[in-house]
A and B are shown apart, each in its own frame.
Chain A
Amino acid sequence: MSSITEVLPRTRAGVMVDPGPRGRFGDHGGRYVPEPLVAACDEVAAAFAEAWADAGFRRSLANLLALHVGRPTPLTPAWRLSAELGIDLLLKREDLAHTGSHKINNVLGQALLATRMGRTRLIAETGAGMHGVATATAAALLGLEATVFMGERDMERQAPNVFRMRVLGAEVVPVRSGSRTLKDATSQAMRHWVGVVDEAYYCVGSVIGPHPYPYMVREFQRVIGDEARGQCAAELPTGVPDYVVACVGGGSNAAGTFAGFVGTPARLIGVEAAGGAGAASGRAGVLHGFRSSFLQDGDGQITEAHSIAAGLDYPGVGPEHAHLRDLGRARYVTVEDSEVVEAAVRLARTEGIVPALESAHAVAWVIRAAASGELPPGASVLLTLSGRGDKDISTLMELL
């Protein structure tokens, strides 16, 4: 593995911009969908392009994000943990967003778009259940129906989120195929979408899927990075953190965060689960409508990801992350489940914040890198705390 100092940040024009009509991020992205879905993807792309250029749409979304979600989320200095680690750690508090994670930023954008397109129902896949809860929430808020596909194994691990979705009026459909986790829930959502394109809108939960989804979801999540950029400018003497760190499953909170800093000298670090490291240990492939980096065996079969965090149990990574990796503009690292649990508890006991196990991956890397000297003493670090840990309390209790 190369040391961090060898990966010099490169600021270049044309990174994290509109990927063009074919949705290409370097070698990655594209639209690998069956012919019956091509027209539906075209329709979403056209509607998004038109809406995103419309000040009225942006105003409506900004209003919802302020009034319903509580944006902007704070930037919290982690005083005690910073002192212990000898660095300057700032937390972007997406755990304080309504519904408990960053997922709501994207979902409100897409739900508004669905309404604009005349659709009456949202379809979604979910892993940990946070995207499902956000989808159920947005559907309730805008008077839409919601159908959420969730792997049976994840429904057991994340039962409280299943209840939340049902209380909000969503239908939760158990997925019993394959690994019974996020990968299979995504496949099942796509299968369902083919049959209902006229009536339902597929609300993808991460920066994955066929064009325009990876681009659109990044744009809806860039509010994280844009806010953090401004907050860092006020908080830090240098104006820009030395490091920007976020966890990566499909990679939506990282994409939104990185979008705010890709044009600065900050080093961008995406932290994956060791058992689900699509960017760090995947190979080029095509799944769920896009070309990117996926875990697969020697025969080209997609393998199952394994992580203590259900939201990171995805065998691939968003195409733009694969591109940022290829460019050397972002670096993707992995942490083990055991480090994640320790990090979650340490953040809880130093800062009074119980993070989602997904977000705790980013914390775990920072703790490890500060201890090893990979993060130099005094380095300023912006970490996106993508969600809160309520959903993981029973998992943590079993391990403590």
Chain B
Amino acid sequence: MIEARFRAAGRKLLMPYLTGGLTDGWVEYLRAFVEAGADAIEVGLPFSDPTLDGPTIQEASDAALARGTTVRSVLADLNGLDLGVPLVASTYYNLVAHDGPERFCAALRDAGFAGLIVPDLPLDEAGELITAAGAAGIELALLASVVTPAPRLALIAERSRGFVYAVSLMGTTGERHEVDAASAALVERLKAELAKSGTARPVLHGFGITTPEHAARASRAADGVIVGAALVRRVLDGAGPEEVGGYLATMRRAIDQGA
């Protein structure tokens, strides 16, 4: 579903991220993201120990949990909402294992999610969740990194659903000064593997996308970008949906012009 929607978009893709339950009325930010030209939205289900996240998403996770946010409360907040773009959940595996993969994926589907990202679940451990997600109609997108060797990259390309998440740098999520040069090579390798397996699954560039210029540059090689900390930083600093959406819109324009 995500893949088809992406193809139908006919443009470079923009997937903003927000930590679910970060503020009162956090869902308003999602509406602003759609308004700004998001093609999908990644919603983080906050976890106490986000080991692949830098200071910004850590702070957001802590803030959301301190407000009493739970997986259930995030799903409840989204209940009945149709934003018109696919929603992709992201969280750490302990929260999936807590409910069990089947129940977890069914709950996501019932809340209107189309996809799922679990950064601490590498391919080798993902078998159970791949099966459960498939059965629930949730597309589990796998991560690829710049140091993933070729045969493994082929497996990741083949088994990922919805899109492939290209982790563009060796580090945690967060704002950066520039786009890592190694990332374009990773995207090219992934696209070659996807072509070999005969699919046109999009490759999205994540991590470190901070400015409109970064977004434009990264989306030349990739099919689109995922933007997290740059938006979450603004929310944590008190910016409202209109302001954060406005910043995302500048990224949208830069991507459309640069591509």
Interface residues of A (CB under 8 A from B): 22, 30-36, 38-40, 177-178, 183-184, 187, 190-191, 194-195, 197, 284-289, 291, 294, 296, 299-303
Contact = CB atoms under 8 A, between A and B. Distances in A.
B149 to A, nearest CB: 7
Interface string B131-147: 00000000000111111
12 contacts: A30-B125, A35-B143, A35-B145, A39-B149, A178-B48, A194-B170, A194-B172, A195-B171, A286-B92, A287-B49, A300-B47, A302-B94
Nearest to B165: A35
B70 to A, nearest CB: 4
B167 A284 contact: no
Contact of A34 (B94, B98, B119, B149): B119
Contact of B98 (A22, A39, A177, A300): A300
B48 A34 contact: no
B199 interface: no
B158 interface: no
Contact of A302 (B48, B144, B147, B172): B48
A191 to B, nearest CB: 5
Nearest to A177: B58
B52 A194 contact: yes
Given A39-B149, A177-B58, A191-B172, A34 B120 contact: yes
B62 A178 contact: yes
B259 interface: no
A187 B92 CA distance: 13
Interface in B192-206: none
Contacts of A300: 47, 71, 94-95, 97-99
Nearest to B119: A34
A96 B83 CA distance: 65
Nearest to A41: B122
Interface string B77-89: 0000000000000
B238 interface: no
B121 interface: yes
Contact of B93 (A177, A286, A301): A286
A24 B18 CA distance: 35
Interface of B: 47-54, 58, 62, 65, 70-72, 92-95, 97-99, 119-125, 142-149, 152, 156, 167, 170-172
Nearest to B47: A301
Nearest to A43: B147
Contacts of B171: 194-195
A197 B65 CA distance: 31
Given A285-B98, A300-B98, 14 more contacts: A30-B125, A35-B142, A35-B156, A36-B147, A38-B152, A177-B58, A187-B49, A191-B52, A194-B171, A284-B97, A286-B92, A294-B94, A302-B48, A302-B94
A33 B123 CA distance: 10
B117 to A, nearest CB: 11
A286 B122 CA distance: 13
B125 A34 contact: no
Contacts of A190: 51
